[in-house]
Amino acid sequence: MIVQTTTFAIDGLDSRRVSVEADLRRGLPSFTIVGLADRAVGEARERVRAALVNSGFEFPLRRLTVNLAPADLRKVGPGFDLAIACAILAASGQLDPKLTEGCAFFGELSLGGGLRGCRGALAVAEGALRTGARRLIAASDSAAEAALVTGLDVVPLLRLGEIGEALAGEASAVAHAHTASVAGRGHGPDLSDVRGHKSAIQALTIAAAGGHNLLLKGPPGTGKTMLARRLGGILPPLSGAEALEVTRIQSIAGVGTAGELATERPFRAPHHTVSYAGMVGGGSSPAPGEVTLAHRGVLFLDELSEFNRRALEALRQPLEDGEVTIVRGQRAIKFPSRFALVAATNPCLCGRGGSACRCSEPELARHRQRLSGPLLDRIDLVVGVERPSSAALERPPVSSSAQVSAAVAKAHAIQMKRSGCINAQLPSANLADSTACSEGALKILRRAYDGGGLSARGRDRALRVARTVADLAGEPSISSHALALALGFRHDAETLAGR
C-alpha cells in the first residue's frame, strides 16, 4: 500500500513542496529512504523508528520504502521526520490516510517521540498556503512563527503520540499574529551620547532617511564606530511585509529570536576576516550571507580597507541590483540584499592622515588600491570624522535619537507615498519624475557633471541624496542648498575614487 503525506524543503529563501511516499510490501524487514536526502534526512530512519515505538505505535516489520519527491531537489535538515512518521502510520493502518489530506507536516522527532522546531517554519507555512494546504501540523516550537502567515490553520504538536487528536481536529490552532504594524524599537546606543560631529550626524540622518550608503573616514579613536552603531536607533520602523521578509531570512539562517516576528531592522557587523562565501552566501546547499542577513537594514563594515578584496568586490552587484545570485550546478538561487552600506576606514596605514601622516608614497598608494573605484562609486555619502575639540565635548549634544528618528520616519513616509520605495532605490528610468530641481539646482548639477567631477552613476546618486535632503526639509523640489549638500558629500567619494 502506498500512502502520501506532504512537507516542504527549504530552497534558498523559499520552500518547495515535497511528497513523502511510503510503500509497505512483503519481504525481509527493512527501512529505506530515497530522494536525494542529505545525512540528516538519512538519519531520520533511526529517529522515526524509535519515536514510533516510544510513542506507543508499532513499527511495521515489512519491507518499507520512503520516497521524498521530487528526487532532483536536495532535502536538507531534520524537518521531514514528522511527515515520514505520519506516512508510515497511514501505510501500516495505524492512521486514517484520509485525515492527512489537505495537511502539511513539519518537525524533527526525538527518540522519545517529542517534537522539536526546525529552521524555516515561516517559509514552510507560506509554501503550504501557496500550494493549497488547509492545515500545517508543526512542532510547538515552530508553531508561533508559522502562525505569522494568515489563512492557514497551524496546529502545534508536542509529541507524536498526539497526532491522532491533531488530525481529528481536537487540537486548537495557534492564533495568528497581527503583522500590519510592528512593535517599537528596543533601547540601544543613543545619539545624545555624541558630542560634536555635527556633519557626521547630518550624514547619518540622510543615510537613515533615504537608505543611502555611507563611508566614515578619519583617524583612530575619533568616533567612527560609535557613530555607525547609533544608526540602528534612527532607522524607520519595519512595515508588516518587511518584518515578515526579515523574519523569514533570520529563521532560515538560524539567527534572531526563534518564533518571534522581527521588530527591528537588521544591523550586521561582520569581522574583517569574513570570507567571500560568508559575505554573499554559498555552500553546497546555498545559505544566505551577510548581504542577505542585512536585507532591509544596515551592513556595517568597520576597518573597510582590512576586508578581503574579493569579498568587497562582491558587494558591487547587491549594492546595484539589491540581490545576489548564487549558481550551483544547473540551478541559480537569488537572495535579496537591499541594505544600506555603512563603512568606516582610516585615511591611511598609520591612521593619522594629512600633515601628520607618516606613511610613504608607496604605502599610501597601496592603501588607496585596497578600495576599488567601482566600489567607491557606489558610496553616496563620504564624511570626515575628526577629533572633536574640548569646547565641542563640553557643549550639549546636537540631537537625540528620538528627535532624529521622528524626522527620518516623516521623510520615509513622504518617499513611500511618492514613489513606493525609498530614495536610494529609485530606478534611473524614473529618476526625473521624483527629483524635480529648482533652476539654481540644475545649474549646479550641470556644472558639476560637465566639469568631469561626477560619473553618470555619481550624478544619479547625488540626485537621490539631494531628494532625501529635500524630504527631510519638507521641500517639494530639490533646492540649490539640498543639491550643494549632496554634492559636497559626493565630492569626497569621487576624490577617494581618484577622480
Mean pLDDT of 346-361: 81
Please indicate whether residue 379 or residue 349 has the higher confidence score (pLDDT).
379
Residues 6+ apart with CB under 8 A from 407: 205, 209, 472
Phi, psi (rounded to 5 degrees) for 288? -65, 145
Tens digit of pLDDT for each residue in 380-414? 999 999 888 888 888 888 788 999 999 999 999 99
Alpha-carbon gap, residue 244 to 414, rounded angstroms: 23
For the CA atoms of the chain, what is the radius of gyration? Answer: 27
pLDDT at 406: 95
Q: Are 493 and 408 in contact (CB under 8 A)?
A: no
Nearest residue to 12 via CA among 275, 292, 259, 263: 292
Tens digit of pLDDT for each residue in 1-27? 799 999 999 999 999 999 999 999 999
> What secondary structure letter does DSSP report for 75?
B
Whether 183 has a pLDDT exceeding 70, the answer reads no
Q: How confident is the model at residue 178 (pLDDT cuts 50, 70, 90)?
A: low
Q: How confident is the model at residue 358 (pLDDT cuts 50, 70, 90)?
A: confident
pLDDT at 374: 87
pLDDT at 193: 87
Weakest-pLDDT range from 21-35, 344-358, 366-380, 392-406: 344-358
CATH (one of 3.40.50.880, 3.30.200.20, 3.30.230.10, 3.40.50.300) for 2-167? 3.30.230.10
Alpha-carbon gap, residue 62 to 28, rounded angstroms: 6
CATH 3.30.230.10 residue ranges for the chain:
2-167
Whether 174 has a pLDDT exceeding 60, the answer reads yes
pLDDT at 430: 81
pLDDT at 315: 95
Whether 498 has a pLDDT exceeding 70, the answer reads no
Average pLDDT of the chain, as a whole number: 90
Residue 131 cell numbers, joined: 500550494
Q: Percent of the chain scored above 90 by pLDDT?
A: 69
CATH 1.10.8 residue ranges for the chain:
426-499
Q: Are 490 and 453 in contact (CB under 8 A)?
A: no
Question: What residues does 153 pair with on adjacent strands?
Answer: 135
pLDDT at 494: 52
Q: How confident is the model at residue 161 (pLDDT cuts 50, 70, 90)?
A: very high
Whether 493 has a pLDDT exceeding 60, the answer reads no
pLDDT at 388: 85
pLDDT at 42: 79
pLDDT at 256: 77
Alpha-carbon gap, residue 7 to 17, rounded angstroms: 6
pLDDT at 496: 54
pLDDT at 453: 74
CATH 3.40.50.300 residue ranges for the chain:
191-409
Q: Are 251 and 119 in contact (CB under 8 A)?
A: yes
Whether 349 has a pLDDT exceeding 60, the answer reads yes
pLDDT at 353: 75
Tens digit of pLDDT for each residue in 251-309? 999 987 777 899 999 999 999 999 999 999 988 788 999 999 999 999 999 999 999 99
Decide yes or no: CATH 3.40.50.300 for domain 191-409.
yes
Class of domain 426-499: mainly alpha
Whether 499 has a pLDDT exceeding 80, the answer reads no
pLDDT at 373: 86
Whether 355 has a pLDDT exceeding 70, the answer reads no
> What secondary structure letter does DSSP report for 37?
B
Q: How confident is the model at residue 182 (pLDDT cuts 50, 70, 90)?
A: low
Q: How confident is the model at residue 177 (pLDDT cuts 50, 70, 90)?
A: low
